[in-house]
A and B are shown apart, each in its own frame.
Chain A
Amino acid sequence: MKLGILAVSCVVLVAATLGTGICAETEEMVIFGFEKDLQDWQIPEWEVEDTEYYAAEDIAVSGYYASEGDYSLELLVDFPGGSWKGAYVEKEMYVTDWSQFSALKVDVYVPQTVPAGLKGRIVLTVGEQWKWTEMNRGIALTPGEWNTITAVVKEGSTDWKFFPDEKFRQDIRKIGVRIESDRKPVYKGPIYIDNVRLAK
C-alpha cells in the first residue's frame, strides 16, 4: 500500500515538474499566444471606417479553439460574398529587429461549417516610412483544422511582392494578419488566430 502511494506520488511529482514549463529549447519562439489577453492586437480604426473592403467586426480572447495553450484570438468577420473583402488585425511591435529569425508563422482556424475559399496572409509594416508590406498571395484556409501561414522574412524570400534585403527584418514596426473572402464564401462568424511565432 505504502509503496503504491510512493509510486503514485513520484509520478505526480515528475509530471508537475514537466508541467511547470521546463522544456527543451526549440527553434521557434512564440511571441503572441493570447493566453491572458489580446496582447494589444486590434482592429485598426481605418478598417472600422472602411466598410466597402473590410469585414472585421470584433476581436476577443477565446477558449473555444487554441493551437497552443488554451486560448486564441477570436476575430468576428462578416463576409457577404459577391466582392473581395478582408478582415485585418494588427499589433504594433516594439521589438523591431528580427534579424535572428528567418520566418514568421501564424496559426489560423476556420470552423468546420464554413465553406472552403477563405484565405489568409501576413502583412508587415516595415521601416521608418511605415511601409505596408503584404505577402504576395493568400494561403488557402482549410475549414475544421488549424492552418499555418508562414512568411519568410530573410533576404531573398519569395513570399513578398518584392525581394527583401537584409534591412527588411531589422525594422518591423507592425505585424498583421488578414483573412480574405474573394466573392466567396459567404460567412459571418468567428475565425481563430493563435501561436504567432518566429522561427530561426
Chain B
Amino acid sequence: MQFKTFLFTISYVFFCTAFVVYPAFCEEIVIYDFEEDAQEWQIPDWAKGNEDYVGSDLTLSKEHSSALRVFADFPGTGVWKGVYIERVMDVTDWSDFASIKADIFLPEDAPEGVGGRFIFTLGDDWVWTEMNRPLSLKPGEWTTISASILPDSMDWRYFLTDEFRKDIRKIGIRIETITHTAAYSGPLYIDNIRVCSERED
C-alpha cells in the first residue's frame, strides 16, 4: 500500500514537473505546400511592369520536391533587383501564431549575395510591411527564412501591433539582391510556408 502511494506521488510529481521543465514547443502548421498547384500565389501586375522586379513564369515544379518555381533574372549590374510573389489571405487573423517560415532553394550555380524576406500587407489600408532585412540564401541548399510576428518582434520596420496581426491581408515573399553585383538567371524554388504557434527562444 505504501509502495503504491509512493508510485502515485512520483507519477504526479513528474506529470506536473513536465509543465515546468520543458519549454513550449513550436507546433507548425503548413499553410502552403504546393503539392498540387500554386495555391493562388502569383506575381502581381505591378511587379511585372516594374524594372526593379525581375521575376517571371511562376509555376509549380516537381524538380526539388513539389514546390513553387519562379524565374529570376538578376543582372548583377550594381543595382538592387527583386523577385516578388504574393497571395491574398483568406484567413486574416494570425493572432494565435508566433512566427512564419518558408523554405527557399537557390540552385547551386547561383551566387552568394541573394536574400529572402517576408512582406505582409496589413489592415484596412493595405499597409505594405516588410521585414527590416533580407535573410541570406545559401546556393545549393534549402534555406528557411523565418520571422516572428509577436508584438516584440525585431524582424520588421516597426513593432507589429495586435491590430495588425489580426488583419493580415496578403502574404508575400521577396527574393532580392543583397550584393547588387550578384548575377543570376534561373529558377528559384519556394516551399513549405508554415506558421508556428509558440515562441521559439
Contacts and interface: CB of A to CB of B under 8 A. Distances in A.
B157 A95 contact: yes
A95 to B, nearest CB: 5
B154 A31 contact: yes
Interface string B63-80: 000000000000000000
Interface string A186-200: 000000000000100
Given A12-B17, A31-B152, A94-B154, 7 more contacts: A9-B12, A12-B20, A21-B199, A30-B152, A95-B132, A95-B154, A97-B159
23 contacts: A2-B5, A2-B8, A5-B8, A6-B12, A9-B12, A9-B15, A12-B16, A12-B17, A13-B19, A15-B20, A16-B19, A16-B20, A20-B19, A29-B151, A29-B159, A94-B133, A94-B157, A96-B132, A96-B158, A97-B157, A99-B158, A100-B159, A198-B159
Interface residues of B, number: 25
A17 interface: yes
Q: A-side binding surface: helix, strand, loop or mixed?
A: mixed
A97 B16 contact: no
* 6 interchain residue pairs of minimum CB distance: A97-B158, A16-B19, A94-B132, A12-B16, A16-B20, A9-B12
Interface in B1-48: 5, 8-9, 12-13, 15-17, 19-20, 24
Interface in A8-41: 9, 12-13, 15-17, 19-21, 29-31, 36
A3 interface: no
Nearest to B133: A94
Interface of B: 5, 8-9, 12-13, 15-17, 19-20, 24, 132-133, 151-159, 161, 199, 201
A161 B15 CA distance: 58
A95 B20 contact: no
A130 to B, nearest CB: 16
Interface residues of A, number: 26
A13 B13 CA distance: 10
Contacts of A15: 20
B89 to A, nearest CB: 23
Nearest to A15: B20
Contacts of A17: 19
Contacts of A9: 12-13, 15-16
Contacts of B19: 13, 16-17, 20
B24 A20 contact: yes
A98 interface: yes
Contacts of A20: 19, 24
A16 to B, nearest CB: 4
